[in-house]
Every structure is written in C-alpha cells, then in structure tokens.
Amino acid sequence: MKNHQYLQLAAILGALAVGIGAFGAHGLKPILEANAKVDTFETAVKYHFYHTIAILILAIWLNIQPEMKKISRVIWSFFVGILIFSGSLYFLSLTGINWLGAITPIGGLFFIYGWLSLIWLSKRKIS
C-alpha cells in the first residue's frame, strides 16, 4: 500500500466511526436498548475512533518519513483490530448473539500487538 493510501484508510475509518456512532445513537437506539447492548456498542465506537486516530497519526508520520516502512505493520495491526474487535462488538450489540464475544479478544490482541510493535520499532529507531 502506498503511504498516501494509509491517510485515505484513516479518513474512511474515521467517517465510518462517526456514521456508525451517530446511527447507533439515533437510528439503532431502540434495538440496542432492547438487547441491553448500548454500552457494548459505545465501547466498539470508542475503540474504533481511538485506533483510527492512531492510524491517522502514523500515516502522517509515514508520509513525512517514508523510509519508516515498518510502521505499516502497526497500521495494519490496528486496522485488523478495528475489524475484529469493534466489528464483533457492533454485530453482538445488534444481534444479541453472545458467542461473538469469544472472538472480540482476538481483535484486542491485534491492538496490543500494534502498540507493542510501536514500542519495539521506536527502540530500533524505526527503520
């Protein structure tokens, strides 16, 4: 993926986070309240946003210093984390299918891996 495409990815993820959050607060409120999953949905949106902002910052950094190619590993880890962690929580909160909670931690592991990779890369001067 080219460096500028990471900025586009962050923009798409940010727009989705706003749209999903707004839709959940307004259009899906009766469904979420019926399933008693408002908190679950809000958690999904928060982590979606946090990691989208992290992707945006890393994408900007990568565009400023394109030689830091390994930073893309962190971006992809956060992206997969959003898909699995937030995605499973979105689905769980809308459907009430509780077994999906079993895959949510996998997304959390991708988030943790991304943050730990960032520490490791910073110690190696991100080359």
> pTM to 2 decimals?
0.88
Say if 8 falls within a structural domain: yes
Say if 11 falls within a structural domain: yes
DSSP 100: G
Burial of residue 45 (number of CB atoms within 10 Å: 0-12, 13-18, 19+): buried
Q: What pLDDT, in 10s, does the model give residues 11-57? A: 999 999 999 888 877 777 777 777 677 888 899 999 999 999 999 99
With b for 16 or more beta-carbon neighbours within 10 A and e for fewer, the 57-92 pattern comes to: ebbebbeeeeebeebeebbbbbbbbbebbbbbbbeb
Say if 127 falls within a structural domain: no
Average of per-residue pLDDT across 83-99:
88
Average of per-residue pLDDT across 94-113:
89
Looking at residue 116, its pLDDT comes to 95
Looking at residue 125, its pLDDT comes to 62
Average of per-residue pLDDT across 71-82:
96
Domain region containing 12: 3-121
Average of per-residue pLDDT across 85-90:
94
Say if 56 falls within a structural domain: yes
Say if 126 falls within a structural domain: no
Q: Within 13 Å, how many C-alpha atoms sit on residue 109's CB side?
A: 5
Whether 59 shows a pLDDT value over 80: the answer reads yes
- Number of structural domains (the chain) is 1
